[in-house]
Amino acid sequence: RGFLARATALVAGGLAYAVPALTGLAALLNPLRQKSEAGEFMRLATLDTLPADGTPQAVSVVADRNDAWNRFPNEPIGAVFLRRTGAGQIEALNVVCPHAGCSVQYEAGENKLFCPCHAASFDLSGKRLDATSPSPRDLDTLDAEVRNGNEVWVRFQNFRTGTTEKVPEA
Ligand code: FES
């Protein structure tokens, strides 16, 4: 009888460890989570709403967000600059400054992108304009494409700030 009791205790103890471990594994393997980490194409605008002269246009990114327990519909998750670069061609930049995460703005007077926090300047393609820029890298480009002739789709992704490398945020 002692053996049976010990065996039962062992199995119960093993289960106590296995359940949280398997739950963690399920969270890691959850396809929704993987999808958001890798970035996914989202329809953000139509081509005809963007200036034909290539002036950047800031567009908010709104998406449903999921965590382990809840679903948060239509939450702002970031913003991008969209810019027409030719017939049916589009460029997209994340508006977040790679230095410390402030939002970069378009300066129409100087036709450049500017971060008001520590004065980093970028050209319209996101390249740093100053050799002594506080930003450790250029603005983060995003994959963008025009579908069905007029829909602007962007693979939205946020990246770590303060690093020279472009590292996707988990
Ligand atoms: Fe943009 Fe510092 S956060 S320059």
Q: Which of 14, 152, 165 is nearest to 84 (CA)?
A: 152
Task: Give the closest residue (by CA) to ligand 1 atom 3.
Answer: 100
In short, whether 84's Cβ falls inside 6 Å of ligand 1 is: no
- Model pLDDT, residue 6: 72
Q: Is 117 in the pocket of ligand 1 (CB under 6 A)?
A: yes
Assess whether pLDDT exceeds 80 at residue 25: no
Segment 123-164, tens digit of pLDDT:
999 999 999 999 999 999 999 999 999 999 999 999 999 999
Tell me the residue type at 107.
E
- Ligand 1 center from residue 124 Cα (angstroms): 17
How many whole angstroms from its chain centre is CA 55? Answer: 22
pLDDT at position 67 is 84
Q: How far apart are CA 64 and CA 62, in angstroms?
A: 7
Structure tokens at 124: 């319209």
What does the block give as tokens for 15?
Answer: 């289960």
- Report how far residue 127's alpha carbon sits from residue 5's, in angstroms, rounded to the nearest whole number: 69
Work out whether the CA dihedral 43, 47, 49, 54 comes out positive or negative: positive
pLDDT higher than threshold 80 for residue 34? no
Does residue 100 line the site of ligand 1, with CB under 6 A? yes
Work out the angle between the directed axes of helices 31-38 and 2-29 (0-180°, nearest 10): 40
pLDDT digits (tens, 9 = 90+) for 60-114: 999 888 888 999 898 999 999 999 999 999 999 999 999 999 999 999 999 999 9
Contact 134 CB / ligand 1 (< 6 Å): yes
Quick check: 96 and 78 in contact, CB under 8 A?
A: yes
Q: Which atom of ligand 1 sits closest to the CA of residue 115?
A: 1
Q: What is the DSSP string of 54-80?
A: ---EEEEEEEEEE-SS-EEEEEEEEEE
Per-residue model confidence (pLDDT) at position 98: 98
**What was the pLDDT predicted at 2?**
65
97 lines ligand 1 (CB under 6 A): yes
Is the C-beta atom of 105 inside 6 A of ligand 1?
A: no
CA distance 45 to 146: 10
Q: CB of 135 within 8 A of CB of 109?
A: no
Q: What is the pLDDT of residue 158?
A: 95
Distance, in Å, from the CA atom of 70 to the CA atom of 86, rounded to the nearest integer, reads 42
Give the tokens for residue 94: 């994340």
Closest ligand 1 atom to residue 120 Cα is 4
Please indicate whether residue 77 or residue 2 has the higher confidence score (pLDDT).
77
Rounded distance from Cα 136 to ligand 1 centre (Å):
10
pLDDT range class, residue 16, cuts 50, 70, 90: low
Q: Is 135 in the pocket of ligand 1 (CB under 6 A)?
A: yes
